[in-house]
Amino acid sequence: MFRIFVFFSFLILSAAQNISAAEKQVSLSDAIRIAMENNHEIKALRNSLSAQKEDIGVARSFLLPKITFEERYMRTNNPPYSFTAKLNQERFSQTDFEIASLNNPRPINDFQTSISFEQPLFVRKANIGLDMSKTEFSAKTEEFIRKKEEIALRVVQTYMAVHTAKEYVSVSEKAVDDAKEHLRIAELRYKAGLGLYSDTLRASTAVTDAEQRLVSAQKNLNIAKRALGLLLGMTESVDSDNESPEFTVMSADYYTNASLARKDIKSLELRYENAQNSIKLAESGYFPTIGIGGSYQLNDHRRPFGSEGDSWQLTAFLRWELFDGTKREHERSKAKYKASETEEYLNGLKKAVAYKVYEAYLGVHEAKKNVELSKNALKTAEEGKRLVKIRYENALSPIVDLMNAQVSLDHARANLVAKENEYRIAIANLSYESGTILKDLKIEQ
């Protein structure tokens, strides 16, 4: 029954391989470029950046003139309003000075059409707010670039996961071939009367185990391809090309110096600048507001937009809030504390970045050494398995030794694949921590 299950599993895998033949294959550089355009996180943050840019226009609007159009209707017998309305309508006559008319005027209609404007000339708070909105947009831009670097790293990791999974499939296929070869030798020895039947059973079990590992490796490969497609903003799977991407390790000074200009540091520096501007914004409440204004007005007692009477006025104003209940003092103190808080976060981030670059640099050297050790381990495992196989074929070793040697060889093959890709990812992580990943991958100059 189990062999039937394995048989159908291989049929399914064969069909999956036929489907994968139509999957899109991309290089690492192309994968990152596609992600820069189609990744949903980047697209969302790009929209957020555009929304932040609109805040500059909002802040600038407080320095531009405000023009208002208004149509108003009033019906009243209030003496002052009636008196004023007739004057505005230019219908005032000698009879309107009579005491009875002044004290008890008849109800009057007034359609008032007006257009007015107000132009600030000096608004310190608005000027500071405009500068702060521009600075925040710059900070958001740096944050957006840092997100692109993060997505680039994740593409590298996922791309290498696909590459690793493909190598695992290849290793598993070799393991199946080796296990079948051991089974063939065990059956020949048994038929020749030189081996035990239990040896053929052990070898057959080893073949089944190797086939199970191949099924799992193929499943992991398909998942890794779909994960890469998801990261690239696609619903279908995406395959890596057959060439192993090469990464170059630069000097420690290169990464250390570059990390000082990392985008999240630049973003926080700009926000610290804005935190200091917040102090100025709070202090702007001590300054007056100066501006000019004016209006043109039409009045009519019969119809809207009528023009029985017209008038205009020009104004200049200075508004100065002399006392606001100590609100400005508390706002200024709060802004100073916030600036100090941001400064501490900035200092902490700079030290954390230096530590992460140091850690990542050591991680690269560790990964490189592990690759060398894994290559040596594979050589010894291959030689050990070769010698044990010769001994088994000459009845000098039991099949258990051969199985153990094969397990060691399979582990050494898989371990070398993992360590080589861990080394590439370690280099990419170092570039990410120093803020040079897009440059190092030649995505941006």
Domain boundaries, the chain: 2-440
Contact 283, 134 (CB under 8 A): no
Rg (CA), the chain: 40
pLDDT of residue 2: 40
In sequence order, the β-bridge partners of residue 354 are none
Our measurement of the distance from residue 369's CA atom to the centroid of its chain's CA atoms, rounded to an integer in Å, reads 33
Contact 240, 159 (CB under 8 A): yes
pLDDT of residue 445: 55
8-state DSSP, 194: S
The residues, ordered by sequence, that sit 6+ positions from 40 with a Cβ below 8 Å of its Cβ are: 233
Neighbours of 342 (CB within 10 A): 19
Question: CA–CA separation, 117 vs 111, rounded Å?
Answer: 20
Question: CA–CA separation, 39 vs 33, rounded Å?
Answer: 10
Question: CA–CA separation, 384 vs 407, rounded Å?
Answer: 11
| 3-state DSSP assignment of residue 165 | helix
Q: How many helices (H) and strands (E) does the chain have?
A: 12, 6
Question: CA–CA separation, 388 vs 411, rounded Å?
Answer: 17
pLDDT of residue 304: 92
From first to last of its 445 residues, the chain has per-residue pLDDT tens of 444 444 444 444 454 454 444 578 898 899 999 999 999 999 999 999 999 999 999 999 999 999 999 999 999 999 888 888 888 888 888 777 788 777 888 899 999 999 999 999 999 999 999 999 999 999 999 999 999 999 999 999 999 999 888 888 888 888 888 888 778 878 887 787 777 788 788 878 888 888 898 899 899 999 999 999 999 999 999 998 877 777 888 898 999 999 999 999 999 999 999 999 999 999 998 999 999 999 999 999 899 998 899 999 999 999 998 888 888 899 999 999 999 999 999 999 999 999 999 999 999 999 999 999 999 999 998 888 888 888 877 777 777 777 778 778 888 888 888 898 899 999 999 999 999 999 988 887 5
Structural tokens at position 28: 């690492």
Per-residue CA distances from 62 to 56, 278, 327, 353 (Å): 11, 17, 22, 39
Could you say which architecture CATH assigns to the domain 2-440?
A: Up-down Bundle (1.20)
Structural tokens at position 231: 């990261």
Q: What strands lie across the sheet with 309-319, from one edge to the other?
A: 66-76, 108-122, 289-300, 309-319
The residues, ordered by sequence, that sit 6+ positions from 134 with a Cβ below 8 Å of its Cβ are: 56
Contact 135, 273 (CB under 8 A): yes
Contact 136, 274 (CB under 8 A): yes
Question: CA–CA separation, 224 vs 437, rounded Å?
Answer: 22
Question: CA–CA separation, 434 vs 26, rounded Å?
Answer: 26
Secondary structure percentages of the chain, helix, strand, coil, to 5: 70, 10, 15
